Chain A
Amino acid sequence: RKEVEQDPGPFNVPEGATVAFNCTYSNSASQSFFWYRQDCRKEPKLLMSVYSSGNEDGRFTAQLNRASQYISLLIRDSKLSDSATYLCVVTPKPFEYGNKLVFGAGTILRVKS
């Protein structure tokens, strides 16, 4: 079983739609959680960190459920520019014990006009 699993998609949605991605992780001791965004053939960039209490950044909302070991990302009012691959990322141990991020394989989002 992969450490971090995501539905690869693609999710094809019209502009203005609300779309949600889920991600599950296998290591219950995982410390920190993130969503990264990767445009085609480009480097990943941090979209947002995910906190236990849930957090929102504009049209993006991230949730963490430690009991069920899953993370979600909700995008409201989708824009064409949201088309990208969304990577779920987990750190399996405290930062000071190793600079390791474990990446999911990514979920492809395509927003159509």
Chain B
Amino acid sequence: EAQVTQNPRYLITVTGKKLTVTCSQNMNHEYMSWYRQDPGLGLRQIYYSMNVEVTDKGDVPEGYKVSRKEKRNFPLILESPSPNQTSLYFCASSSFQTSGSYEQYFGPGTRLTVT
């Protein structure tokens, strides 16, 4: 089954304790992204990757790191989490289609609470 998986699904942590949220896709997609979703603000892109070892900042990259060592994995790292990073996080992957359009497939989401 084609899918994007994220772990953990739920996480409660304390300020300053480093954490990693994993993301993996089995569709051989070149492109992967991380978003956060907050009430009234919609989804905002944190980082994206166009291929292995190619990453770039999205709209809200502060406080986050990513890496793309393998095509299927795109972990999100919070080196020193703060309460303002409490949010719902989604990983997504996509592949450009010849029609010029593309669909992003989203993981199930990770609900992070930083106290």
Contacts and interface: CB of A to CB of B under 8 A. Distances in A.
Chain B interface SS verdict (over half): strand
Contacts of A103: 35, 42-44
B31 A44 contact: no
Contacts of B53: none
Contacts of B45: 100-102
A57 interface: no
Interface residues of A, number: 22
A32 B101 CA distance: 7
A105 B41 CA distance: 5
Contacts of B24: none
A98 B48 contact: yes
A69 interface: no
A95 B102 CA distance: 9
Residue of A45, A95, A96 with highest tally of chain B CB at under 10 A: A95
Assign chain B's interface to a size class. 20 to 34
Contacts of A105: 40-42
Interface stretch (B14-22, B75-83, B105-113): B105-113
Interface in A94-111: 95-96, 98-106
A1 interface: no
Given A95-B96, A105-B41, A44 B48 contact: no
Interface in A18-54: 32, 41-46, 49
26 contacts: A4-B42, A32-B100, A41-B109, A43-B90, A43-B109, A44-B90, A44-B104, A46-B103, A49-B101, A87-B43, A95-B96, A95-B102, A96-B96, A98-B48, A98-B50, A99-B31, A99-B49, A99-B50, A99-B94, A100-B33, A101-B33, A101-B43, A101-B45, A101-B104, A103-B43, A105-B41
